[in-house]
A = this chain, B = another copy of it.
Amino acid sequence: MAILQPIHNIAEIFSKKNVKTAILCPGSRSAALTISLVRHPDIETFSISDERSAGFIGMGMAQVTGEAVVLVCTSGTAAYNFAPAIAESFFQEIPLIILTADRPAEWINQYDGQTIFQREIYGKHVKKSFELPSEYSNTDVVWQIERVVNEAINLAQVHPKGPVHINIPIREPFYPTVEEDITYDKNVRIISNVEIEKKLSNQFWSNFKDIWENCENKLIIVGHRQSSGLDETLEKFSSEMCIPVIGDIISNVNNIDSILADVFLSSKNELFRSKFKPDLLITCGKSIISKNLKIFIRNNKPTFHFHIQENPDLTDPFQTLTHKVEVSPEYFFKQLFEDLDFLSFKKGEDEIDNQYLKFWTEASVKAKQTLNGFLNSSEYCEFKVIRNVLDKLPENSIFHVANSMVVRYSNLIGLEKGKNIEVFANRGTSGIDGSLSSALGSALKTNKTVTCLIGDMSFFYDRNAFWNTYLPDNLRVILINNHGGNIFRIIDGPNKQPEVSEYFETKQNSSAEYFCKENDVEYQKVFDEESLGNALNLLHQITSRPVVIEVEVDGSQNVQIFNSYKSLFADFS
């Protein structure tokens, strides 16, 4: 048996537990992990050199597949370069298993190369952090390693999903000899985590239905969520029970007309706004982009607010929570609908009061007309470009929207109902880093077209996303280049400071053109509506390489246009 046999066996445990993708960052300390993962017939491996990008690529893969992805790095700062992606995964609840190779404990802080303090290095941003032993002679140690790897995989994939870290000190020799074959012990121990059904008691349902019946205005708000089995049920709440369902573009509520609450709730007309106050609020999902919606709910507190979330942390971004319900939203809404449906059938009720829903939908329809009227008559600008991009997104495709202004614009526009577009966004920590890599990772694990809408700061920050040999031909990057962090000119505060250009917006002249040449990526430059229209055809065409569409826009003009759009809603009613 090879000295590192228990380390090689980790690949076998992954395979048996259906963890089949690994991102490997080059290094010697991690060689035993690399080699055993590459040679395992069931595991697909990718070699990525910049660990920061590698972390986000792995995350993008786990995001699109829903399955845990393994990240492997060598010892030293490599581990820290994974950290931004790990934090994002933690708050987005994306399953990752991070294996950081390490020197054996006796060599830590001994002036020997590539050694940092890796134990528990990710702090509270992993669900749990393990450390393996570096001696394998005792059979209890082998039992420990197998047990820990099982626990890590189980933990990463049980709700709330998330990243789990195993630090793995490894002694030399790292490499098998030429004659030596890597083998896998087919009898590695597998410990399954038996799935638990979390249900609510009859007593709860009975009480809840009383509340339901006694509350006039009932509202459902869906925060950031990956697309899943909620669509159909929520659609029925909307169409059959006349309950308004409000979501952001990142909520993935696909088959209900999006309600543009963020704009019309900015109206200063108190009487108009008061119509939307809910009595019962049910929420699920994570963060909310729409600031006006958040402020509105905080100022118009419902009597009851039930938040449906399996994660045991108590989160209350509306500051209105009265009940936390730790079951899956899928179960909750399905059960609730069935019960209410049966109740209504038993009672033989007539027409459901749809007044409250009408307030929301009518305001939204009017807001959409305002939006389209405004954009149709406005000149070429960022806002209009993004509307046109959203219009042109292919059906059954994936839309990855980066942070900062592009996600805000997109959320003001919304997606067309029924096109079955899955939306991803790194809203766990809303960082400027990693969106390009995440989109690339997703594209590597789907046959669908992945369109990544991204601003120039995010794009260049994460340009090493393209520094690998796996550039997927189904990736379309739409780079909105206004040459700086235009958001700082748009939000109130920095725009009035003399430092805005140098220290907030950080004006920069980069263009992706040379960079695309360097990486053999198809490149199209857009500078007006016509060239945009032509370029967007590429979203529907097959190409042999990924495509970057660089859209040049005028940052200062954007600000004006954005402000005049917002001003349209000051007296909206």
Contacts and interface: CB of A to CB of B under 8 A. Distances in A.
A197 interface: no
A317 interface: yes
B464 A461 contact: yes
A554 interface: no
A329 to B, nearest CB: 15
A469 B484 CA distance: 12
A47 B502 contact: yes
Contact of A508 (B110, B467, B494, B507): B467
Contact-residue size bin, chain A (C-beta under 8 Å from the other chain): 35 or more
Given A461-B49, A469-B508, A518-B515, A497 B35 contact: yes
B52 A496 contact: no
Given A31-B494, A493-B173, A508-B469, A430 B114 contact: yes
Interface in A466-507: 467, 469, 485, 488, 491, 493-494, 496-497, 499, 502-507
A81 B433 contact: yes
A5 interface: no
A162 to B, nearest CB: 13
A568 interface: no
A21 interface: no
A209 B26 CA distance: 49
A447 interface: no
Q: Which of A52, A173, A513 neighbours the largest number of chain B CB atoms within 10 Å of its CB?
A: A52
A288 interface: yes
A511 interface: yes
A342 B116 CA distance: 44
A128 to B, nearest CB: 15
Contacts of A496: 175, 177-178
Interface string A116-131: 1100110111000000
A396 interface: no
Residue of A77, A467, A502 most packed against chain B (CB within 10 A) = A77
A115 interface: yes
A80 B76 contact: no
Interface of A: 24, 26, 28, 31, 34-35, 38-39, 45, 47, 49-50, 52, 76-78, 80-81, 83-84, 87-88, 91, 109-117, 120-121, 123-125, 173-178, 223-224, 286-288, 313, 315-317, 427, 429-434, 457, 460-461, 463-464, 467, 469, 485, 488, 491, 493-494, 496-497, 499, 502-508, 510-511, 513-515, 517-519
17 contacts: A26-B505, A31-B493, A35-B497, A38-B503, A49-B457, A49-B508, A52-B81, A87-B116, A110-B315, A113-B430, A173-B493, A174-B493, A175-B493, A175-B496, A467-B510, A510-B518, A513-B518
Top 4 closest pairs, chain A to chain B, by CB: A175-B493, A514-B514, A77-B431, A113-B430
